[in-house]
């Protein structure tokens, strides 16, 4: 079985309106929440085989903070421009082409595409996808190329509490 975790980047700064979208960094809240959420995945036994990130600074910073908590080498994070796309079919094609040897993959990217994709996979079970939200899906297949048509289970829907401390709920066993 394949497991995919769609993770929206943590809260980013909008302080400098001259900064290009791709160059926006995490703000203080984002820097606090991302390690908490990464540690939470680690405590649930999530062991990523691959971590992919959008080239946007806020997504990559989020991926790095998660990787530290998951004991995943930061240098092994793969940056892919397809994950900065706001086109669901481009990201779907990316997912279908993940290295077949990987059982668990984490993708760090953006809304609205991740929200749309999460609902596509879960048959509209995701009410929202706020910053630093994690949606985990288990696919009953051994091939990434078959995830679109395979049976799927929502195993995780998490986001930081408004207080910034801890996740809301966790569906994994």
Residuewise pLDDT in 10s, the chain (173 residues): 999 999 999 999 877 778 899 999 999 999 999 999 999 999 999 999 999 999 999 999 999 999 999 999 999 999 999 999 889 999 999 999 999 999 999 999 999 999 999 999 999 889 889 999 999 999 999 999 999 999 999 999 998 875 444 555 555 54
> Which domains are delineated in the chain?
2-13+20-158 (3.40.50.1240)
Predicted pLDDT at 166: 52
**Angle (nearest 5°) at CA 115 between 18 and 125:** 155
Compute the residue count for the chain: 173
Q: Which positions ≥6 away from 126 have C-beta within 8 Å?
A: 115, 118, 119, 135, 157
What distances in angstroms separate CA 50 from CA 3, 16, 80, one per listed residue?
11, 33, 12
Asked whether the CA dihedral 56, 67, 94, 86 is positive or negative, the reply is negative
Q: Model-level pTM?
A: 0.93
Tokens at residue 8, please? 């929206």
């Amino acid at each position: 079985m394949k497991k995919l975790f769609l993770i929206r980047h943590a809260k980013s700064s909008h302080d400098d309106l001259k900064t290009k979208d791709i160059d926006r960094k995490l703000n203080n809240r984002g820097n606090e929440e991302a390690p908490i959420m990464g540690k939470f995945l680690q405590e649930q036994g999530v062991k990523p085989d691959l971590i992919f990130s959008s080239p946007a600074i806020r997504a990559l910073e989020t991926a790095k903070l998660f990787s530290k908590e998951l004991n995943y080498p930061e240098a092994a994070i793969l940056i892919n421009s397809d994950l900065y796309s706001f086109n669901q079919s481009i990201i779907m094609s990316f997912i279908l082409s993940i290295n077949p040897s990987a059982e668990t993959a984490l993708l760090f990217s953006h809304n609205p595409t991740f929200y749309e994709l999460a609902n596509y996979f879960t048959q509209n079970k995701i009410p929202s996808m706020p910053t630093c939200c994690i949606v985990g899906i288990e696919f009953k297949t051994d091939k990434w190329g078959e995830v679109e048509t395979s049976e799927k289970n929502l195993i995780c829907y998490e986001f930081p509490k408004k207080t910034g401390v801890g996740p809301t709920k966790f569906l994994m066993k």
